[in-house]
Amino acid sequence: MDKKQFKQLLGRPFAENGFLCKGQTWFLNSDEVLALANLQKDEYAPSYFLNLAFWIKALGEPPSEPPGEHVCHVRIRAESLFPEIRTDILNLLDPTSVFSHEERTDLADRVLRDNVIPTLLSSTSLAGLLAILAKPPGFRGFVHVQARQLLVESRGKPGKS
């Protein structure tokens, strides 16, 4: 599977759920949070990483649309957010793994449609983002100090749970 076919396979479920695409980044913009998924090539192996990131608009407008994953307020790799399907994610993101086209498509649907996309869709509000950070076994990603302060403050406000 070449890079173009691989990107199309991953991009289809995002596009079908209203995500826009720029380069290797699929993103969804809302009034509170810009949520994105970024496909990053591993420098040392033929595989990829799927980075999930969130820009909190209460902290300012993003420098571009979409912002680079590396400048977002909250960032995590998909396999860290979903440890229960870590092996499936790693297999999906390795284009050299031996799967038929149908098997790889089914795997993409399980990983993206059942896990990644619903999580990104629910994270377009501060309350949704807080739910991701509270997901067991604990958030193992980056949260900018300003974002951490804002999210802690929003927890105590009515309607922000």
How confident is the model over 100-117, as pLDDT tens digits?
Answer: 889 999 999 999 999 999
Q: Which residues of the chain are modeled with pLDDT < 50?
A: 158-161
Q: How many CB atoms lie within 10 A of CB 106?
A: 12
User: What span, in angstroms and rounded, lies between the C-alpha atoms of 91 and 98?
Assistant: 9
Count of residues in the chain: 161
Whole-model pTM: value is 0.92
Looking at residue 109, its pLDDT comes to: 92
| The two three-digit tokens of residue 67, written as one number | 């912002």
| The two three-digit tokens of residue 2, written as one number | 């070449």
Whether 142 and 76 have beta carbons less than 8 Å apart is answered as yes
User: What span, in angstroms and rounded, lies between the C-alpha atoms of 153 and 3?
Assistant: 43
Looking at residue 158, its pLDDT comes to: 47
DSSP label at residue 93 = T
